[in-house]
Chain A
Amino acid sequence: DTGVSQDPRHKITKRGQNVTFRCDPISEHNRLYWYRQTLGQGPEFLTYFQNEAQLEKSRLLSDRFSAERPKGSFSTLEIQRTEQGDSAMYLCASSLGLTGRDTEAFFGQGTRLTVV
């Protein structure tokens, strides 16, 4: 297993377009997280999945954002009608579970979105 992988690494899009990012977690990991990170800030929680169930969404996540994890493996994050304020690094992480060392989150390299 090569760890958490995200695709694409970079995305430039025009304002108003829709974009979709993909995350492949570490294969046996049950939890998958999406974060957003802007320059000079720590990661900002967006949403997370326990297997295929989306258990929590940040209040920061507008209706333009949707995430899926259809079979409890890979996940997609879609942003509709992108705005310049959506420009950020989108990070995906996975962890084995809820307790003990299982909470350790492993991060992908991120997808850098630039909205022009």
Chain B
Amino acid sequence: GEDVEQSLFLSVREGDSSVINCTYTDSSSTYLYWYKQEPGAGLQLLTYIFSNMDMKQDQRLTVLLNKKDKHLSLRIADTQTGDSAIYFCAESGLGSNYQLIWGAGTKLIIKP
């Protein structure tokens, strides 16, 4: 079956940029998503990118997609303490019958 992988932790200093990486296996992936989950809260869609795009920017968030390498990244500029959360990468496409395939999540830790 299709798979999505992420590193489990990322630690950055407040004010620095955070880059969270994700790799996936679905060659027919159509949509790729980044979700944020704060402690005790549900999953919140942060942003998504269509597979024919290389980059998408939305305020402090920049998503980069390298379709050849099946690599997705989320860059958070000027990381704040409120950005502390678990960030999940997910993809959907023909290979998964358009079901969301999820990574295990990257916990972003902000150091003062």
A88 within 8 A of B: no
A40, A42, A48, A106: the one within 8 Å of B45 (CB): A106
**Interface-side segment among A64-72, A76-84, A107-115:** A107-115
B104/A110 in contact, CB under 8 A: no
Contact call B104/A41, Cβ cutoff below 8 A? yes
Q: Which residues of A contact B43 (CB under 8 A)?
A: 43, 91, 93, 107
What is the bound-complex CA distance between A59 and B33, given in angstroms? 24
A-B pair count, CB < 8 Å, reads 45
Q: When the two chains form their complex, are residues A105 and B45 in contact, meaning their CB atoms are under 8 A apart?
A: yes
Give the size of the chain A interface in residues (CB under 8 angstroms).
21
In contact, B42 and A104 (Cβ under 8 angstroms) = no
Q: Nearest CB to that of A44 among chain B residues?
A: B102
Q: Name the residue on A nearest B35 (C-beta).
A: A107
Q: A56 and B97: CB pair below 8 A?
A: yes
Taking the complex as formed, is A103 at the interface, i.e. its CB lies under 8 A from any CB of chain B? Answer: yes
Q: Which residue of B lies closest to A98 (CB)?
A: B98
- From 55 to 112 in chain B, residues with beta carbon under 8 angstroms from any chain A beta carbon are 88, 90, 92, 97-100, 102-105
Contact call B100/A45, Cβ cutoff below 8 A: yes
Determine how close the nearest CB of chain A comes to the CB of B90; give it in whole angstroms: 8
Residue of A nearest to B88 (CB): A42
Contacts A91-B42, A98-B98, A103-B31 given: A40-B104 contact, CB under 8 Å? yes
* Chain A hits for B41, CB < 8 A: 109
Q: Which residue of A lies closest to B104 (CB)?
A: A42
